[in-house]
A and B are shown apart, each in its own frame.
Chain A
Amino acid sequence: MTRILIDPVACDAYGYCAELLPEAITVDEWGYPIADGEPLPAELVDAARRAARDCPRRAIIVQELRAGA
């Protein structure tokens, strides 16, 4: 189980994550990303890691959840 967390302090509304992962991340009226924190479908995990690498502020955290945790 993998999910995305956004560090709101680091985030500076570049929006690259929403470009790479539109299925899981949308953007509010001021350009800041909204992630629902739900587990990602397996096919989106690579895009999520790419979003984490590309974020200029390193505000995207790809979190591995242990089942039952």
Chain B
Amino acid sequence: MPNATDTMPGARTYGLLGYPADLATHAGRVGPLPLPARADRDWGGALIAALEASGLTGRGGAGFPAAIKATAARGKGRGGTIVVNAMEGEPASDKDALLMIRAPHLILDGAQLLAAVSGARSVVVCVPEGRDHVAAAAARAVAERTAARWAPVVETVVRPPDRFVAGEESALVGWIEGGQSLPAFRPDKSVPLRIGRKGALVHNAETLAHVAVIARGGPEAFRSRGLPEDPGTSLVTLSGAVSQPGVVEVDRGTPLIDIVSRATPLGPPQALLVGGYAGAWVAPEHFSTPYASLSLRAIGATAGVGVVVVLGHEACGISETARLAHYLAGQSAGQCGPCVYGLPAIADDLARLAAGHVDPGLPARLDRRLSEVEGRGACRHPDGAVSVVRSALRVFATDVHVHSRGTPCVSWDRPTQLRFPAPPVQVAS
């Protein structure tokens, strides 16, 4: 487990990190679940109002306002399921795993509160295969809560496969329902997800933890941190060319370079990868950009799943992006032609570029492929790959120029600064 640092010194008003892992201490510190004897519509309305006032948005990548999602589930969630998404398929992310181990009761309390709002009868916690220590922590917490009759709605822990797209909402719900972890084609996202005949509401683990703290402490504490237009805190996993990788809790709106400084970079970063492996590269001229939705969007990035990777100077952004593209190509669900064929082709083009193959048609071909693949999958997976590759071509334009003249990448043979979960798969030639 990487080192984790606590909330910034002096910020005692709001935070997720610092809560206890066991139920007894948790109960002693925050009291019982703030549920009335019968959770009626007024109570549900009050909780939604608190979430709306807080301005909480999803911390799982989509950034959707939590209040709107809860309101939508209200009519359709009766008898359904709250799905706790702790899948964290992003290889560079540890925040949900950390939170599940350090403060599982926050996450589960958040799920119980949303279950009361929507009338759900089941809470299903999803931890992927292979993350046994995280699953054990979740199971331990669930057992404590069951023994203490802490929560009204039954909680179970399930283990979907450990793949990048397995945490996508519809893939997760599809797996729970029928065992197939495949994203669904959803032209109309307002149609709710279902498990059987009943509605299913999927929320990222960190988002649920925020719900639990806001429900008890009120929206003002959340708003006391961050920005008016993007309030509260976020967990961010820092990795790459740093000496203290790990998970930090930051105010939304903190400049990127300040966030990164908490991991002690080994030198001035060459670039930052923000949002995850399907996120976007950020050049030094934008290092002071605030970590907030609108500011990041203005530079072509998003907060994504709460990941910032530091690229050191000895590395080549094109080589690293070629590795990212190959990883993402391998993680395709295999359902949609443009993703299945387009991503390996794009990855191949990048590999040729990094290897210094002179190919005058490559830039135009790569650009065409990126435009054609974007938006043509059932899920956002190909879009993420396009985003990271496009940003690389922009941020590392000098390297692109050098490589396209025939100079192979010097860091082609050096170990990568990024982490990849499984050993590479040999091509079938």
The B211-261 residues at the A interface (CB cut-off 8 A) are: none
Partner of B376, one of A12, A29, A34, A63: A34
Tell me how far the C-beta of B57 lies from the nearest C-beta in chain A, rounded to whole angstroms: 26
The A24-66 residues at the B interface (CB cut-off 8 A) are: 28-32, 34, 61, 63
CA A7 – CA B339 in complex, angstroms?
13
Most buried by A among B337, B339, B345: B337
A28 touches B378 (CB 8 A): no
Q: Could you mark each residue 167-191 of chain B with 1 if its beta carbon is under 8 Å from any beta carbon of chain A, else 0?
A: 0000000000000001011010000
Q: What residues of chain A lie closer than 8 Å to B342, measured between beta carbons?
A: 28, 30
Q: What residues of chain B lie closer than 8 Å to A30, measured between beta carbons?
A: 337-338, 341-342
**Total A-B Cβ pairs within 8 A:** 45
> In which size bucket is the chain B interface?
10 to 19
Q: What residues of chain B lie closer than 8 Å to A63, measured between beta carbons?
A: 187
A10 at interface (Cβ–Cβ under 8 A)?
yes
B187 touches A61 (CB 8 A): yes
A28-B372, A34-B376, A61-B187 known; A9+B336 contact, CB < 8 A? yes
CA A15 – CA B410 in complex, angstroms?
43
Q: What residues of chain B lie closer than 8 Å to A31, measured between beta carbons?
A: 337
CA A10 – CA B378 in complex, angstroms?
10
B187 touches A8 (CB 8 A): no
Residue total for A at the interface (Cβ-Cβ under 8 A): 17
CA A13 – CA B340 in complex, angstroms?
12
B146 at interface (Cβ–Cβ under 8 A)?
no
B119 at interface (Cβ–Cβ under 8 A)?
no
B335 at interface (Cβ–Cβ under 8 A)?
yes
A9-B185, A10-B185, A61-B187 known; A34+B372 contact, CB < 8 A? yes
Tell me how far the C-beta of A59 lies from the nearest C-beta in chain B, rounded to whole angstroms: 9
A11 at interface (Cβ–Cβ under 8 A)?
yes
A9 touches B335 (CB 8 A): yes
A13 touches B337 (CB 8 A): yes
A5 at interface (Cβ–Cβ under 8 A)?
yes
Q: Could you mark each residue 1-21 of chain A with 1 if its beta carbon is under 8 Å from any beta carbon of chain B, else 0?
A: 000011111111100000000
B377 at interface (Cβ–Cβ under 8 A)?
yes
Q: Determine the residue in chain A with the shortest Cβ distance to B338.
A: A32
CA A14 – CA B333 in complex, angstroms?
21
Q: Could you mark each residue 362-391 of chain B with 1 if its beta carbon is under 8 Å from any beta carbon of chain A, else 0?
A: 000000010010001110000000000000
Q: What residues of chain A lie closer than 8 Å to B341, measured between beta carbons?
A: 30, 32
Tell me how far the C-beta of A65 lies from the nearest C-beta in chain B, rounded to whole angstroms: 12
Given contact pairs A8-B185, A29-B345, enumerate 10 new A-B contacts (beta carbons under 8 Å). A5-B187, A8-B335, A8-B338, A8-B339, A8-B377, A9-B182, A11-B337, A28-B338, A29-B369, A32-B338
Listed from nearest, the 6 A-B pairs whose CB atoms lie closest are A8-B336, A32-B337, A30-B341, A9-B335, A9-B185, A7-B185
CB pairs A–B below 8 angstroms (14 shown): A6-B376, A8-B185, A8-B377, A9-B378, A10-B185, A11-B337, A29-B369, A29-B372, A30-B337, A30-B338, A31-B337, A32-B376, A61-B187, A63-B187
